[in-house]
Structure formats: C-alpha cells, structure tokens
Amino acid sequence: MALLETHGLTAHYGDFQALFGVDIRLDQGECVAIIGANGAGKSSLLRSLSGVLRQEPGMVLLDGRPIGALPADDIVALGISMVPEGRRLFPSLSVEENLMIGAYRSSGNGAWDLDAVYGMFPMLKERRTAPGNALSGGQQQMVAIGRALMSNPRVLLCDELSLGLAPVIIRDIYAALPRIRQAGASVIIVEQDIGQALKVADRVYCMMEGKVTLEGTPEELSRDAIHKAYFGVAA
C-alpha cells in the first residue's frame, strides 16, 4: 500500500477545471518530483493534497484511508504538511514564532524541534527575533521549510522551493533535503526547474493541462520525452 495516493483527482475553481483525473502515488521514504509548465495543475495538486482545496473523500488516500474532503487543519494533524508557494510567513510573528506555530497541533514527539531546525539552518538562530518578513527570500524559504517540519510530518509537500531565488541559494536549500528524508519524511516537490527536480527525486511525474503526461525514474526519462510531456509538442 502506498503512503499517499490520489485516485482520479479532479479540481475546480468555479467553472474552471484545473485537474482532470490525476493518479499519483508516494511510497514510504520516497521523494517524488512533479514538474510541468505554469498552469499545468501542479499547485492545484498540492493544494488538494494539503486540504486547502477540498475534494471527494476517495480522491486522496493516506495509508489507504480517504482524506480528500478533510480541511487543511485536519490534514496537518494526520501528518501531511506543506511549504506553500511564496513562503507565506506570518509577518506578525518572529522567525522563532513562525517555527513554533508549525508545531501548533503536534505533541512534540519526533526528530524535529527548534534546535534541530536551527541545527540545519544555523543562520535562522541568529535572526530568531526578527519579524518573519524581514528576512531575505532564501532565509524566508528556510523558515517556511522549518515551520513545515516542526509538525514532524510523514509527508512533506514543497511547492516551488526555488521560485525567485538565486542558484547558489537554491543549492543550499536543496542540500537540506537528504537530512529531511533521513529524519523520516517522505517528500513531494513541485518544481519548474527540471534539472533540480531530476537531481533530487526518486521518481518524477510530468504534468500538462491538468493531467499526468509522463511518469518514471530520472534515469528512465529522456530529455526528449520530458520535453514532449512538458510542452505537448515534439522538440
């Protein structure tokens, strides 16, 4: 049984349909990347998994249990937490408070606590009392990752970690990924940066126009096939 899977997942914003029957799966310990162009439905997929968008119960299964209709706050309690697109730190909260609020619903058992996050991103400790939005983009992304880890999730969803960041910062942030996986989280990353995605993922789904158009391990997939699945035309 997969840790997390979707069955015929659809998503609508009013009259606009964003997802047309998406089936993906994430196994225990895996890191899966979802790639695709803007508007391919990647973010809608993550928003459906995290409960920001609520769907039919059976469309999303965690340990085989239907969770598709639960609200975001219940999904977190079940062990799925998200690093949202654009970081979305709370400006009224300091860096440390932003991290602490990540553990709002958790009992405090697990690998991740303030010390562990500061151990991974030492520069956050220096800025712990600064307001969340006073940090650089890369530091904000570190806070957002740390905040999501504070609930000690079984599944970590990362939406566009590299968005708007310099390459050297992106490298630093992705350097944290092995440690996160080692501590027990299975990971789904959504990326527009294909190279980065192929480097870190065990398996890759490629999406276009709300459907999965390609699936495989990074080794299996040729650049040509990805290009085709990404843009819908032969290169």
Q: With respect to other proteins, which residue has the nearer C-beta, 158 or 198?
A: 158
Contacts by 221-227 with C-beta closer than 8 Å and gap 24+?
Answer: 226/35, 226/194
Q: With respect to other proteins, which residue has the nearer C-beta, 73 or 224?
A: 73
Q: With respect to other proteins, which residue has the nearer C-beta, 42 or 203?
A: 42
State the nearest-atom distance from the C-beta of 164 to other proteins, in Å: 18
The footprint of other proteins (CB under 8 A) covers: 50-52, 71-73, 76-77, 81-82, 84, 88, 90-93, 97, 100-102, 104-106, 147, 151
State the nearest-atom distance from the C-beta of 79 to other proteins, in Å: 11
Rounded CA-CA distance 51/67 in Å is 9
State the nearest-atom distance from the C-beta of 97 to other proteins, in Å: 5
State the nearest-atom distance from the C-beta of 14 to other proteins, in Å: 16
The whole-angstrom distance between residue 184's C-alpha and the CA centroid of its chain comes to 15
Question: With contact defined as beta carbons under 8 Å apart, do 181 and 211 qualify?
Answer: no
What is the residue type of 166?
A
Question: With contact defined as beta carbons under 8 Å apart, do 207 and 213 qualify?
Answer: yes
Rounded CA-CA distance 90/95 in Å is 9
Q: With respect to other proteins, which residue has the nearer C-beta, 50 or 196?
A: 50
What are the helix (H) ranges across 52-187? 72-78, 95-101, 114-120, 122-126, 137-149, 167-175, 177-182
State the nearest-atom distance from the C-beta of 38 to other proteins, in Å: 21
Q: With respect to other proteins, which residue has the nearer C-beta, 81 or 213?
A: 81
Question: With contact defined as beta carbons under 8 Å apart, do 147 and 84 qualify?
Answer: no
Q: With respect to other proteins, which residue has the nearer C-beta, 37 or 114?
A: 114
Rounded CA-CA distance 145/140 in Å is 9
State the nearest-atom distance from the C-beta of 22 to other proteins, in Å: 21
